[in-house]
A = this chain, B = another copy of it.
Amino acid sequence: MPKLRVHNLSISLDGYVAGPNQSTDNPLGEGGESLHEWAFATRYTNAMFGKEGGETGIDDDLLAAGDRGIGATIMGRNMFGPIRGEWPDLEWQGWWGDNPPYHHDTFVMTHHPRPSLPMDGGTVFHFVDDTPDQVLRRAFEAAGGDDVRLGGGASTVRQFLRAGLVDELHLAVVPILLGAGERLYDDLGTLPGYRIGSVVRSPAVTHVTFVKTP
């Protein structure tokens, strides 16, 4: 059975997955880039941006593993861009330039649909105003038997967790405090139906994976 998986979701000690006040200059919110330094230091992330070098090891391995076997992606609108409400025009095409690192059908959850957007390299953004359940059904279809990856932000992940749709939740706990921003753990309780699958520590972060109990 194909799975819905969250991977390498960077989270601060105080539970934030992005800083406050996301904007075009601050895609990850104020201070949010410090959540991702561990990833940007790796060979895998460098290679994704056409650069050489970088660290290998646990973090690098887990970043690569997070992309393996994935045939479609779901993300919240704030992960696609900083624009809220109605689209003023169709100019915004995501944070990633002409060739986004997805290379497959990528579903953007938004209350303001717009035409699908094919990019270089195989990524096609679809804008969907549907329930998590419906979006996931479309994503599984698009993935053709592969797993589906769920990106951020916090509220999108929470929606899918609350609906019990996430099969695997892999967090990268970064030892910093953000103090404000988008909190993952709001009204999630103890995540009934999940247990801790593994805890793996790299020098930079602690990788914790929750898996759904059958």
- Name A's B-contacting residues (CB within 8 A): 13-15, 31, 171, 173, 175-180, 185, 188-191, 196, 199, 201, 206, 208
Contacts and interface: CB of A to CB of B under 8 A. Distances in A.
B177 A190 contact: yes
Given A31-B190, A201-B201, A15 B185 contact: yes
Contacts of A208: 13, 175
Given A14-B185, A177-B185, 15 more contacts: A13-B15, A13-B185, A13-B208, A14-B15, A14-B188, A15-B185, A31-B190, A175-B199, A175-B208, A177-B188, A179-B188, A179-B189, A179-B190, A179-B191, A180-B189
Nearest to A31: B190
Contacts of A185: 13-15, 177
Main secondary structure of the interface of A (DSSP, over half): loop
Q: Which 10 A-B pairs have the closest CB atoms?
A: A179-B190, A14-B185, A179-B189, A201-B201, A175-B199, A177-B190, A175-B208, A206-B206, A15-B15, A177-B191
A191 B175 CA distance: 13
Copies in the complex: 2
A134 to B, nearest CB: 28
A89 B173 CA distance: 45
Nearest to A201: B201
A183 B190 CA distance: 14
Contact of A175 (B15, B180, B189, B196): B196
A190 B14 CA distance: 9
A179 B189 CA distance: 4
The residue among A171, A188, A191, A201 with the most chain B CB atoms within 10 A of its own CB is A201
Contacts of A31: 190
